[in-house]
Amino acid sequence: MKRPAACLFDLDGLLLDTEPHHASAWSQAAAYFGLLLPPDQLLGLRGRRRSDNVDQVRTWIGESGQVVPTAAELLAVQQPIAQRLLRGAAPMPGARGLLERLRDLEVAMALVTSSGREAVERKCAPHPWLGIISERVLGDDPELTAGKPAPDPFLLAAQRLGVTPGNCWAFEDSLAGARSARAAGCVVYVVPGTELPAAALSRLEASADHLLASLEDLRLG
């Protein structure tokens, strides 16, 4: 298989098994303010920046007729739950092996995540192998004008690596992330979560160039 100029990786749900924890934290926080989030709305939060999710959940709370908390009030409930749950996030199958293989092949890599710096440092701390990726575009990056599903995160990552987006392979698990990578012009590899309903999986497949059951399935020469 022809090698890419660079590989661009999402973090949550792609390299680390964090998405169920994020969903639980948002669900519990919304319930605290009187809103029960159905599965489709929780899926809609996946892959997006925290600030964008705060705005969305506050909108949903208002639409349900409940008193809308401030962003700070919502995060004061959601963040402690998320931080507690995320301590136990495990690596996704094949993640470490793939990064080590790409390093050995001297393929450039970047982390392209909607999580902010503090959250990324906390999640990565138990997993030193994630330090293989030194270039990182984070959700609170000062050079980032818009988050996923806008193409900006992947365009910024390619620019920093000095490569053309069309020569990059982007690895994602969320619809927002896949659409972001496709809009940037990357070759999009998607590893869907096993819990996705059929309709969500169909939308995800439509934004992918290649589907993988796991990162273990990618073969490089």
Q: 173-199, pLDDT tens digit by residue?
A: 999 999 999 999 999 999 997 677 778
Q: Which of 45, 10, 40, 9 is nearest to 25 (CA)?
A: 45
Q: Which residues of 19-30 are buried (b: 16+ CB within 10 A; e: fewer)?
A: bebbbebbbebb
- Looking at the annotation, which residues are catalytic? 10, 12
What is the structure's pLDDT at 194? Answer: 65
pLDDT tens for 42-68 read 988 988 889 999 999 999 999 999 999
Residue 33 pLDDT exceeds 80: yes
